[in-house]
Structure 1
Amino acid sequence: MQALPENLYTAAQVREMDRIAIEEKGIPGIGLMAKAAGAVFEQIRLRWPELNKLVVFCGGGNNGGDGYVLARLALAAGCQIELVSLTGIDKLRGDALTACRDYLQNGGPIDSLRAQTLAEPCVVVDALLGTGLDREVVGAFAEAIQAINACDWPVIAVDIPSGLNADSGQVMGCAVKADCTVSFIALKRGLFTGEANEYRGELVYSSLLVPADVAATQAHAAKLIRKPVLPRRNRCAHKGHYGHVLLVGGDCGYSGAIRMAAEAALRSGAGLVSVATRADHSHAINIGRPEIMSHAVETVEQLNALLDKANVVVIGPGLGQSSWAQALFSRAMAEDVLCVADADALNLLAKQPALKHNRVITPHPGEASRLLGCSSAEIAADRFAAVTELQRRYGGVALLKGAGTLVKDSQDIYLSTTGNPGMASGGMGDVLSGLIGGLLAQGMAMAMATRLAVHAHGQAADIAAANGGERGLLASDLLAHIRTVLN
């Protein structure tokens, strides 16, 4: 798989790069179209060499212009071409018009969408709508997208699947489901989060040979998480060198959550792991994992002694919102210690908002909506704005879960590329919170520990899914792989 650039940008930033390349660097716009079309055609030949027919869907902007150039290249290579135009030639402008005229002069046909358009085996090329989309797709464009998605043939998207918002990753009414997307000049942040994973397919990047200093004119809008190489352990190390994590939670009926979080902390390499939980099941927490030190805690006074020994507190897995949970939550939040707040600790935090700079919060969209006092739909509409506001309002490091998990520290937004749909099952968040806590206990900075935990958590799930499939993947299946991933 291609190594992708680290920096991500908004659609407006990439359009500005395109302008600079043309107007200030003297690169002809039609030349950029030729390179873009060449990059897409190369992928078509590489992936589907047995299919000699292309059905190219073109819109009216530069994305459509790329489609016209691609169709001309394919004609010259001896391919059978059917080009469906949704914008009349009289409405084309600039380089898109030049590309269309060149295609026509080379004998290229232009058709309208018909019932038989996608009846025969072919490669479908989506060059309908580019990165400037800012409203829901309707009318003829929506009909074309629906026809593309209903066909049985491979689909390749030019720059971005039509209908997908390049900034948020949300579907604007409807969107093309591509098998592959070839993205140009710089990567758009919306290709990696929200609903993008369902629509993007495999992502291929091409700079179109635009000079690197063009991208340097724009401050990145986000970064992909890169897994750091952990340092070699000192040969004389002992458990005291790698911290003591205290996990607080596991109300009656929810002991499994705190148990999984505790084992994840151990698997991360933490020196010592303690659990503060209900007396009714404290004795059962370390059955099968005797390395966990489990304590019956019914009062704040009993918690105090454990807090004195810990250098990191993870609170929330299985915590609930009872009076017991509220008392332990309030006490833990008052302690000046590194903290990871997850699950019901976040719901309690939403009721008692407080800024804390030595804390990591780990909400899923529902919890984020309660923390910000808005709807889950508003969170989904702009995950980048949501994670930024979470960090501003609550301090420390904010993690917004979901496909394309986001991590926001005081400087940057980072985006995860690991993980799979098998993780849509209970307990995954508990494993993640324990993993973050364990890395923090070993002295890793909050932002780095959170990013590494998110990456390793998803990678462990990917390994587990590769061994048995996504359906039926359990949170506890990740635990055996976390150690391998981190090492």
Structure 2
Amino acid sequence: MRRLPNALYRAEQVREFDRLAIEEQGIAGAELMERAGQAAFNALREAWPRARRIAVLAGIGNNGGDAYVVARLAHDAGFAVHLWQVGDAHKLKGDARVMARLWRDAGGETQDYKTSLDLGGSDVVVDGLLGTGLNTELEGDWADAVRAINESHAGVMALDIPSGLHADTGCAMGCAVTAQLTISFIALKQGLFTAEGPRYCGRLLYDDLRLPPQVLMSQVPAVSRLTFAGVAHLLAPRRRDAHKGDFGHVLVIGGEAGMGGAVRLAAEAALRVGAGLVSVATRPVHAAAISAARPELMCHAVTKASELRPLLAKADVVAIGPGLGQSDWAQALLDSVLACGLPMVVDADALNLLAIEPVQSDNWILTPHPGEAARLLNQDTTVIQADRFAAVKALQQGFGGVAVLKGAGSLVAAADSPLALCDAGNPGMASGGMGDVLTGVIAGLLAQRRSLKTDPAHALAVAARLGVSVHARAADLAAKEGGERGLLASDVIATLREVVNPAAF
């Protein structure tokens, strides 16, 4: 069993790996199936060491063949194993058919799903129903089998992918197995990490089935998985003679009446990740209160767009949108920012205004959640979530710059960089203000682009990827301290300083 690699692939790419291993490397398909079954059985024993009663549901494809191997190995090890064949057993072919025969030769019995399925009393259910080739919604016996697994009250281990989950999009095809553990074979599928994938996969393990490196190097990954360990090197210790001018000046614009908290969260987050200076332009009603609560922020009361000019002249980066609203005031401020030529992070109501009057820029980072992305692309939110990878690419191609599609498995798309996915973070982040914090984090890191270890030509993409990683890691640290439920955006701000100083703690 290996640590999860960073390379993620589409289902068709993984099938190509399988083909190359068999046809060009001479590894028998049955041998790959044996390796998968052994890896899965080892994972089962480690995850459920007290389990003795194993239920196995096998489909009619290669996923079912893997399931037959798990059943045989468990039977040989003295477990009480019950195996049900779902789908017409006469359709089993090739290596899967061989594994079914070996199961019977070992003394195993194959039970008829339609007449005898009873998962009660099982310690663990092994889902070997369907693999990565699913492209239609489940119905009939397949849907019934998935529901039976989910209602079993046993531990559930999925082979390669939870049955019913689309390997490329991470969406459930009508219904899907809810696994506590999923073991992915050969290469990681991109759908396991975003949309509904994390919900159905549970803990994820990986085994490459000992494929030769040249096989796995034959395809360019569809997505690169972001890890904090992979970006932490950018946060090098500062020079001993550094001063605040080395780390940029962020101007955060927002805070319509009644929404001053959003702009303060973004501004404070920019400070906490190390921006040298942070100014706030907001409605007069909020300026004094924000200054009193966080005196390190330079707050300016702005009633009209012309008052932004001296503030923009001093800034290195602009973050606009948190609490901005969609009034004439908000539109005038956005128009001024769009004309200033500074690199910017655009979020929240600034995105909603952009959806009304779209423009393009190569000098911004857009950070929509699915609802805002839907408005930008003139689609429904369900369409965005049905293929988040396509959506973030469309955002980047349609609006330029860098696009960050927030949510479970946040995605980062840039024209000159591979698509990136962050699988860190937790459900506690589903609360107000988290997006405002992310805006400030990215803006604060972008302001430090000259001190980060990065190529200036890729500064926006690097700041977006680093910011998403920092934000997620900070949220995970905050959740570890007090739990996910009730996690506040300000709790995440409190852990940012630790995260952006990895060498010091």
Q: Give the shorter-chain TM-score range.
A: over 0.9
Q: Which amino acid aligns with 1:463?
A: L
Tell me the distance in 1 between the aligned counterparts of 2:131 and 2:236. Answer: 43
Structure 1 stretches of at least 4 aligned residues deviating more than 4 Å after TM superposition? none
Tell me the distance in 2 between the aligned counterparts of 1:112 and 1:459. Answer: 47
Q: Which amino acid aligns with 2:184?
A: S
Tell me the distance in 2 between the aligned counterparts of 1:374 and 1:129. Answer: 31
1:476 equivalent in structure 2:
490
Tell me the distance in 1 between the aligned counterparts of 2:116 and 2:356. Answer: 56
Identity value in percent: 54
| 1:69-106 Cα distance to aligned partner (Å, 9 max, x none) | 11111111111110010123311111111111111111
Tell me the distance in 1 between the aligned counterparts of 2:158 and 2:102. Answer: 22
1:440 equivalent in structure 2:
446
**Are 1:121 and 2:122 matched, yes or no?**
yes
1:254 equivalent in structure 2:
259
CA pair 437-2 structure 1, distance change in 2 beyond 3 A:
farther
Unaligned runs of 5+ in 1: none
Of 354, 365, 368, the match for 2:370 = 365
Partner-residue secondary structure (3-state), 2:292: coil
2:472 equivalent in structure 1:
458
2:171 equivalent in structure 1:
170
1:130 equivalent in structure 2:
131
Please show how residues 294-443 of structure 1 align to structure 2 within 5 Å.
Answer: 294-410=299-415, 411-443=417-449
1:299 deviation in Å? Answer: 1.3
| 1:244-283 Cα distance to aligned partner (Å, 9 max, x none) | 0000000100000000000000001000000000112211
1:240 equivalent in structure 2:
245
TM-score for both structures, normalised by structure 1: 0.98
Unaligned runs of 5+ in 2: 453-458
**Are 1:60 and 2:60 matched, yes or no?**
yes
Q: CA RMSD in A?
A: 1.1
Partner-residue secondary structure (3-state), 1:111: strand
1:121 deviation in Å? Answer: 3.5
1:3 deviation in Å? Answer: 2.9
1:458 deviation in Å? Answer: 1.2
1:448 deviation in Å? Answer: 1.2
Tell me the distance in 2 between the aligned counterparts of 1:152 and 1:89. Answer: 27
1:274 equivalent in structure 2:
279
Partner-residue secondary structure (3-state), 1:181: strand
Residue 442 of structure 2 contacts residue 464 of structure 2 at CA under 8 Å; is this kept in 1?
Answer: yes
Of 263, 268, 282, the match for 2:268 = 263
Tell me the distance in 2 between the aligned counterparts of 1:418 and 1:13. Answer: 24
Tell me the distance in 2 between the aligned counterparts of 1:249 and 1:10. Answer: 40
Please show how residues 6-21 of structure 1 align to structure 2 within 5 Å.
Answer: 6-21=6-21
1:43 equivalent in structure 2:
43
Tell me the distance in 1 between the aligned counterparts of 2:291 and 2:154. Answer: 52
1:115 deviation in Å? Answer: 7.0
1:447 deviation in Å? Answer: 1.0
Q: Which amino acid aligns with 1:105?
A: D
Q: Which amino acid aligns with 1:477?
A: D
Q: What is the count of residue pairs matched by the alignment?
A: 487
1:111 deviation in Å? Answer: 1.1
Tell me the distance in 2 between the aligned counterparts of 1:431 and 1:286. Answer: 18
Partner-residue secondary structure (3-state), 1:284: helix
Deviates more, 1:289-298 or 1:106-115: 106-115
**Are 1:208 and 2:209 matched, yes or no?**
yes
1:116 deviation in Å? Answer: 6.4
Tell me the distance in 2 between the aligned counterparts of 1:200 and 1:226. Answer: 19
TM-score for both structures, normalised by structure 2: 0.95
Tell me the distance in 1 between the aligned counterparts of 2:89 and 2:288. Answer: 76
Residue 245 of structure 2 contacts residue 276 of structure 2 at CA under 8 Å; is this kept in 1?
Answer: yes
Tell me the distance in 2 between the aligned counterparts of 1:395 and 1:176. Answer: 38
Tell me the distance in 1 between the aligned counterparts of 2:311 and 2:347. Answer: 19
1:150 equivalent in structure 2:
151
Deviates more, 1:200-209 or 1:346-355: 346-355
Deviates more, 1:118-127 or 1:379-388: 118-127
